[in-house]
Amino acid sequence: MKGKLRLAVGLVFALINFASAQSRISLSEAIDRSLEHSYSIKSLQHDSLAAAHELSAARLASWPTLSLNVTSFYVDKLQSIDLPISTIEIGSHENYQADAKLTMPLFAGGRIATQIRLQREIASSKRYILEGERLQRAYQTRKAYLNAMLAQAAVRSAAASAARVNLINDDAKNLYRAGLADSVDILDAELALQKVARAVEENLTLSENASVMLANLIGLAPGEAVAPSDTSPVPEFAIYENLQITPELINRAESRIQRSRSRAARLAAAMTKANYFPGVNAFGGYSYGKPNKDVFNKSWNDYWTAGLNLYWEFNLGGRSIKTVRAAHESVRASEISERQLQESLVLQAEIALKNLGLAYRLYNLAVKEYDMNSHQFRLAREKERAGRLSVNRLLELEADLTAAEQTLQASRISFFIAQNDYLYAIGSPEIYGGL
């Protein structure tokens, strides 16, 4: 039994040393590598570039358009005119024609300018979507990093408990030899040592799992693990005291996306109104070919053309009116969604701030609780060594100390997890930095 316990304890500490040998990474570095590795961000970057090219294409719609057309064909039979002394054929068996035409819009009823503004809003929306994905990725990485820190803290707490229980086990053996303890005390100490060894292994496994999840976010190969190198500072809440959540404080990409969509809906409505107006294009052309205009001489010749083109469409069933009305309803729906989103984001930020305050208060309570349990355990161990306290009672106090230590570590890191939620809720750029 004793050999097995020593083997178990040795295995636990060997696993702890293996975990400490993992590669280390800081929080800011983890976020940078995660943003660089994200496939969603890479995809959205290309979407944003595509929207930028579409905007450029819309701006070039007001430029002249050059069209070229070249045709060559053979006709076996031609029309002819019978005269008293001869027959005149109209056209040529061999036909060659080359046309070039330059068209430039002079008036489009606001279609081109509105389309440019619409594409600008679409491009802005794509950039905001990319910004929102980056913020969410940083939030997820930061949370995974803090969870890995929390798991590491649990391992350290369990290891410290194992060391304390191991000392209690040695004390119990010394007291037994001095006649101040019995075999039940020895058995209690060995059972406690077995339980704490299992707890260390369980927490170590959870820590390794958290490290693998963090490694996956930053782009390491499957199965590789990475451990946080940062240590959590002492939580501070002074900067959040008396802070009021207002819409101006919220800097989330979602709100900008919705505002851009509302503006795009209004521009789409303006596009439908443009159907009420005519359009005018100016054009000029050059034609060269055989027989071209001179169908009787059948020789190469050319000519120039220039003029204006007026186009104006009317739907007699009132389709344009219905389209305009539908566009205006879409604008109203988009504006309502914008107000709803703003209220939702403000509420989310208010809840995150309240949770942050609660996390800070729980941390302060955990500090006091740990100090009291630590002092109590030191006094109890002195009494146990003097034979005035049972080993079983000391083990109970050690379990209370371990629980208080774990609560303290968890509450300390939970404060920064709550802070992460708050930074995400308001869209703060601090979420990309360290602790």
Helix (H, G, I), strand (E, B) or coil at 76: coil
Q: Is the pLDDT of residue 146 over 50?
A: yes
Report pLDDT for 24: 87
The residue with greater pLDDT, 181 or 408, is: 408
Question: Tens digit of pLDDT for each residue in 373-390?
Answer: 899 888 888 887 777 777
Q: Which long-range contacts (CB under 8 A, 24 or more apart) does 319-322 make?
A: 320/272, 320/275, 320/276
Q: What are the beta bridge partners of residue 286?
A: 100, 304
Q: Give the CA dihedral 24, 29, 33, 35, nearest 10 degrees.
A: 140
The residue among 44, 41, 35, 416 whose CA lies nearest residue 236 is 416
Report pLDDT for 166: 77
Least confident of 82-86, 122-126, 173-177: 173-177
Average pLDDT over residues 403-426: 91
Q: Give the CA dihedral 287, 288, 293, 297, nearest 10 degrees.
A: 170
pTM: predicted TM-score of the whole model, two decimal places: 0.80
**Count of Cβ atoms closer than 10 Å to residue 384 Cβ:** 25
- Tokens 């008396």 belong to which residue? 242
The residue among 92, 89, 94, 91 whose CA lies nearest residue 73 is 94
Least confident of 77-81, 122-126, 266-270: 77-81
- Could you tell me the two tokens for 366? 């955990």
Report pLDDT for 33: 92
**Yes or no: is domain 2-432 CATH 2.70.170.10?**
no
Q: Is the pLDDT of residue 7 over 50?
A: no
Q: What are the beta bridge partners of residue 226?
A: 23
Q: Is the peptide bond before 291 cis (omega within 30 degrees of 0)?
A: yes
* Per-chain mean pLDDT for the chain: 84
For residue 3, what pLDDT band results from cuts at 50, 70 and 90? very low
Contact 265, 331 (CB under 8 A): yes
- Could you tell me the two tokens for 176? 């037994």
Question: Tens digit of pLDDT for each residue in 193-239?
Answer: 788 778 888 888 888 888 888 888 888 887 777 888 888 889 998 88
For the chain, which residues make up each domain, given as ranges?
A: 2-432
Q: Residues 122, 123, 124, 129: is their CA dihedral positive or negative?
A: positive
The residue with greater pLDDT, 334 or 17, is: 334
Report pLDDT for 13: 54
